[in-house]
Amino acid sequence: MITDSSTLEIANGINDRSARGIATAIGRMISSGELVIGTQLPTVRQLSRKLGVSPTTVGEAWRSLAEVGAIETLGRNGSFVRQPTGPGGPRRYRQVAADSDHRGHFALDLSTGTPDSTLLPDLRTALARVSSQTLTSSYLDHPVLPQLEEALRHRWPFVPEELTVVDGAMDALDRIAQVVVRLGDRVVVEHPTFPPLLDLLEKIGADVIGIEVDAQGMNVEALTAALEQKPTALFLQPRAQNPTGVTMTAQRAKQIADAIIASGHSESITIIEDDHAGDIAVGELNSIGNYLPTRTVHIRSYSKSHGPDLRLAAVGGAGDVISAAANRRLLGPGWSSRILQAVLLELLDDQATLEALSHARDEYSRRRREVVQILNERNVFSTGTDGINLWVRVSDERSALMTLAAQGIGAAPGTPFLVNAHPDSMRLTVGLLGAASDLEATAQAIALAATTSGSGRRGQR
């Protein structure tokens, strides 16, 4: 039975009286245990009267909570707290891939964010060596090959308390987020950032705070303000940030670490670094883990550098977080293929592979540099210096995409990458502009598309 006193108690815990603010506050009450599973919530009209807002606003908040499985509405019988299940799908990711049905019609598809297959190392020698090895003798074997763990620890940017291997960077982000982020938690991310990460956090029910990225990395002044809201997690990409191509400088990494320490919340926040570009990044790796090793989880992906189908990423850093994720994984897949782990181990010190990676870095850098030069000559703004993607400012997002599509070129819309308001943009995987493509003609087409005016309306969010 819902009483006036219980409704008032809930209302007093809500400071932001927007639909999002109400949903976030209720979510925090559920995550903290203040509202336990089975608790009956006030009716829409009861809470709207106490808050002084319209029933429509509270209704929107209830719908948001129901969408992530935090509450269950039973019509006239009321609404109740339930165990969150997060049924949402990858909405933003699907927007990036919205034209997937038409990709066969693009003579050149720069929307994918994938590496150039001609620049990947040859796996045949490593596969041949691994084929003669006996790897798994028991389901209870250690999840990571001991020799691979030793090699990875030697390459880590700081001394990790724990280290494991999972099925790629997104798998790592998913598993770590499920450990450190709960419904209603505030979480800091870069703005713009990788759409599937935003999908993941929205599915969990997090309150996402986007911080602008400048030429050196995440803006420290804005981060300092966000830290006053006591976020539980900070997600960032230290190199070749997707989509901007920015690599965090050593000075900025220290400034971010100093801001976290000065906030007084360094023991309650987890920093998750997604080094998705890995060995094809030309920039220096500057990790927050050098300053906060027990609160940092660093993810190193080998998909873009060694091959997407290798499906491996290493995760090292904060022992409590990684152990929790690894233990939970025992109830699922248990471990990543030790055959693939053995292939990666062979590749890490293989001279031919190292030479292939060096060539790939140089080639990606050249392609990016030449496109940027042509765009600069035409006064088209782009960001960053690293990685396979280019973030380009455009006059009108939809018109730019349509102009490129008319010339047989696919590009990713900027909107799915955004947390906050932002000028119209698009992401192009210029790393794919190899020998088979006319780089100069493509760059000129991008410049034309970027300056094409339209309705001023973006695609649907």
In 3D space, the residue among 386, 324, 314 whose CA is nearest the CA of residue 169 turns out to be: 314
Same domain for 167 and 128? yes
Q: Which of 332, 348, 364 is the last residue of a domain?
A: 348
Helix axes 146-155, 338-348, angle to 10 degrees: 50
φ, ψ of residue 361 in degrees (nearest 5): -60, -50
Contact (Cβ atoms closer than 8 angstroms) between residue 190 and residue 236? yes
Considering the domain architecture, whether residues 149 and 297 belong to the same structural domain is answered as yes
Is 338 found in the same domain as 201?
yes
Whether residues 65 and 15 share a domain: the answer is yes
Burial class (CB in 10 A: 0-12, 13-18, 19+), 323: middle
CATH of the domain at 106: 3.90.1150.10
Choose one of 81, 108, 132: the last residue of a domain.
Answer: 81
Domain for residue 217, yes or no?
yes
Structure tokens at 135: 């790897």
Please identify, among 81, 108, 142, the residue that sits at the C-terminal boundary of a domain: 81
Residues 338, 387: one domain?
A: no
Residues 337 and 436 in one domain: no
The verdict on 136 and 100 lying in the same domain is: no
- Tens of pLDDT along the chain (461 residues) come to 455 558 888 888 999 999 989 998 998 888 888 888 888 899 888 999 999 999 999 988 988 888 777 888 777 678 888 765 544 567 787 778 655 555 567 889 999 999 999 999 999 988 888 876 766 667 778 899 999 999 999 999 999 999 999 999 999 999 999 999 988 899 999 999 999 999 999 888 888 999 999 999 999 999 999 999 999 999 999 999 999 999 999 999 999 999 999 999 999 999 999 999 999 999 999 999 999 999 999 999 999 999 999 999 999 999 999 999 999 998 888 999 999 999 999 999 999 999 999 999 999 999 999 999 999 999 999 999 999 999 999 999 999 999 999 999 999 999 999 998 889 999 999 999 987 678 999 999 999 999 998 754 454 33
SS (H, E, C) the chain: CCCHHHHHHHHHCCCCCCHHHHHHHHHHHHHHCCCCCCCEECCHHHHHHHHCCCHHHHHHHHHHHHHCCCEEECHHHCEEECCCCCCCCCHHHHHHCCCHHHHHHCCEECCCCCCCHHHCCCCHHHHHHHCCCCCCCCCCCCCCCHHHHHHHHHHCCCCCCEEEEECCHHHHHHHHHHHHCCCCCEEEEEECCCHHHHHHHHHHCCEEEEEEEECCEECHHHHHHHHCCCCCEEEECCCCCCCCCCCCCHHHHHHHHHHHHHHCCCCCCEEEEEECCHHHCCCCCCCHHHCCCCCEEEEEECHHHHCHHHCCEEEEECHHHHHHHHHHHCCCCCCCCHHHHHHHHHHHCCHHHHHHHHHHHHHHHHHHHHHHHHHHHCCCCEECCCCCCEEEECCCHHHHHHHHHHCCEECEECHHHCCCCCCCEEEECHHHCCCCCCHHHHHHHHHHHHCCCCCCCCCCC
- The domain of 58 spans 4-81
177 in any annotated domain: yes
Report if residue 389 sits inside a domain. Answer: yes
Q: How many CB atoms lie within 10 A of CB 149?
A: 20
Q: Is residue 401 part of a domain?
A: yes
Evaluate whether residue 31 is within a structural domain: yes
For residue 461, being part of any structural domain is answered with no
CATH number for position 35: 1.10.10.10
Asked if residue 438 and residue 391 are part of one domain, the reply reads yes
In the numeric block, the tokens 């933003």 are attached to 92
Residue 206 sits in the same domain as residue 298 = yes
Identify whether 320 is part of a domain. Answer: yes
Examine the domain organization and report whether 158 and 233 are in the same domain: yes
Q: In sequence order, which residues have a C-beta less than 8 Å from that of residue 406 and are 6 or more positions away?
A: none
In a domain, 312, yes or no: yes
Q: Which amino acid is at 356?
A: A
Q: Which residues pair with 313 in a beta bridge?
A: 166, 301
Backbone angles phi, psi at 230, to 5 degrees: 55, 60
Query: Does residue 243 have a cis peptide bond before it, meaning omega lies within 30 degrees of 0?
Result: yes
Residues 316 and 208 in one domain: yes
**Domain containing residue 263: CATH number:** 3.40.640.10
**CA-based nearest residue to 389, from 225, 186, 185, 243:** 243
The number of folded domains in the chain is 3
Structure token digits, residue 286: 């500057």
What pTM was estimated for this model as a whole? 0.84
Burial 341-361 (b: 16+ CB within 10 A, else e): bbbbbbbbebeebeebbeebb
d(CA 50, CA 17): 11
- Regarding whether 328 and 231 lie in a shared domain, the answer is yes
